[in-house]
């Protein structure tokens, strides 16, 4: 584990910085950037695959995405630095693609799909890999974030449960895929 906590913090912190910058622009200019979210099966909604995780509906939404994205992202980069970039980017983009393909017709915004992807990756990676360290991480993340998995079911019309569900599916898929990689950290 030669990756330092400082280096592990960089990518998640940059994401959080951009999220808050976008939110600040929306707030101070009184504009709604939600139209740059993912709108399933519309050509104009494809931009959301890139932009949706950066856009949040309100202060509570961005706060609820900030700390988990920072913690889970830093944990991923700190413990599994050799595969972290691939996992992070695939959670980001594959989740968005699945939302665009299969979600209900509505704008989908926020980083929760990425968060569900990272959480489910960290939980299932240890189960699939089976080594002590990865299992310990799995148990810790499960203890902290097990309540997240209620979010994969429809609960509120303004919440993209589809992003949660597809993020979780992508995380599980990536956990299975990368569990066979021999060296996952420096």
- DSSP secondary structure letters along 45-98: GGGHHHHGGG--SSHHHHHHHHHHHHHHHHHHHHH-TTTHHHHHHHHHHHHHHH
What tens digit of pLDDT does each residue of 9-41 get?
Answer: 999 999 999 999 999 999 999 999 999 999 999
pLDDT at 151: 87
In the structure, what pLDDT confidence band is assigned to residue 173 with cuts at 50, 70 and 90? very high
DSSP category for residue 180: T
Q: Is the pLDDT of residue 158 over 50?
A: yes
Task: Output the CA–CA distances (angstroms, integers) from residue 175 to 5, 13, 114, in the order listed.
Answer: 22, 23, 14
Question: Band of the pLDDT at 147, cuts 50, 70, 90?
Answer: confident
User: Cα separations (Å) of 102 from 42, 77, 99?
Assistant: 11, 30, 5
Which two three-digit tokens encode residue 164? 């949660």
Which architecture characterizes domain 5-178 according to CATH? Up-down Bundle (1.20)
Give the pTM. Answer: 0.95
Q: Give the burial string for 24-51 (b: 16+ CB within 10 Å, else e).
A: eebeeeeeebbebbbbbeeeebeebbeb
């Amino acid at each position: 584990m030669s990756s330092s906590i400082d280096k592990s913090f960089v990518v998640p912190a940059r994401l959080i910085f951009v999220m808050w910058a976008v939110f600040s622009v929306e707030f101070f200019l009184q504009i709604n950037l939600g139209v740059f979210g993912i709108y399933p099966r519309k050509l104009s909604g494809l931009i959301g695959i890139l932009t949706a995780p950066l856009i949040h509906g309100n202060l509570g939404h961005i706060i609820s995405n900030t700390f988990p994205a920072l913690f889970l992202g830093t944990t991923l980069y700190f413990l599994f630095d050799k595969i972290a970039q691939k996992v992070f980017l695939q959670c980001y983009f594959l989740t968005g693609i699945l939302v665009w393909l299969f979600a209900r017709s509505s704008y989908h915004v926020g980083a929760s799909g990425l968060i569900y992807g990272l959480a489910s990756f960290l939980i299932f990676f240890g189960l699939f890999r089976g080594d002590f360290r990865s299992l310990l991480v799995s148990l810790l993340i499960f203890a902290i974030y097990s309540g997240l998995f209620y979010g994969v079911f429809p609960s509120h019309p303004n919440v993209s449960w589809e992003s949660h569900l597809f993020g979780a599916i992508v995380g599980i898929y990536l956990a299975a895929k990368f569990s066979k990689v021999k060296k996952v950290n420096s």
